[in-house]
Amino acid sequence: MNNKKRLRELTREVIGSLAQTFEIEEGMLSGEMTVEMVGRRSCRLTNHRGIIKYTPEEVRIKTESGVFRVCGEMLKIKGLMAEEIIIEGIIENAAYEEV
């Protein structure tokens, strides 16, 4: 179990250094979610694992690192693709939920 953890850490480190060397987003290599926000009106998430809840006030998205929650008003899924989701509306809060 310990070995597995170490291996995972080591893999992350290698990926991190590779991403730094080639100046690319770490998330693209590791498969971790990346979030891009344009002010309060748009939020783009890549490498998500699915939608858990979708209402105009709240969108909960499953990711590798936990559940990501976007709260606001008039939220709308502008685009939904295999690895990417774009949420538009008046975003008030975007954060990981506490485990």
Partner 1 sequence: MVFDILKSLKTYYVLRVDTAFPEKILNLIQKGGFVVWEVGITGEGMSLKCLSSDMPAIEGLLNSLGAVWEITRIRGAETLIKNLKRYKGIIFAAFACFVITLIFSGFVWSLEVYGARGISEQQVINCLYDSGVREGCLKRNLDREEIAVSLMTEFPSLSEAQVTFEGTRLCITLFERDSPAVIYDTSVAVDLVAVKDAVVDFIDVYNGRGAVEAGQSVAKGDILISGDLSYGSGEEAFEKKVHSMGKVLSYETAEFEGITVDAYLPGEGAKYKSIKTYYLFGRVFTVSDAEIPENPVKVMSYAQPVRVLMFSIPVLYDEIRCYNVDECIPKSEHEIASEIFSATQELLGDKCTITDITYSLKSDGGRRLLARVRVDYSESIAEQRPIGENDK
Two tokens, residue 4: 């597995």
Instruction: Kindly state whether residue 31 participates in binding partner 1, applying the rule CB under 8 A.
Output: no
Radius of gyration of the CA atoms of the chain, in A: 15
* Per-residue mark of binding to partner 1, 53-92 (x: CB under 8 A): xxxx-------------------xxxxxxx----------
Cβ pair 7, 16 in contact under 8 A:
no
CB atoms near residue 13 (< 10 Å)? 10
- Whole-number minimum distance, CB 45 to partner 1, in Å? 12
Residue 21's alpha-carbon distances to 13, 16, 88, in angstroms, are 12, 9, 33
Contact region with partner 1 (CB under 8 A), list: 1-9, 24-32, 35-43, 50-58: 50-58
- Whole-number minimum distance, CB 94 to partner 1, in Å? 18
- Whole-number minimum distance, CB 60 to partner 1, in Å? 8
Q: Which of 4, 50, 98, 99 binds partner 1 (CB under 8 A)?
A: 50
Two tokens, residue 55: 């209402």
Which amino acid does the sequence have at 17?
A: S
Interface residues with partner 1 (CB under 8 A)? Answer: 50-56, 76-82
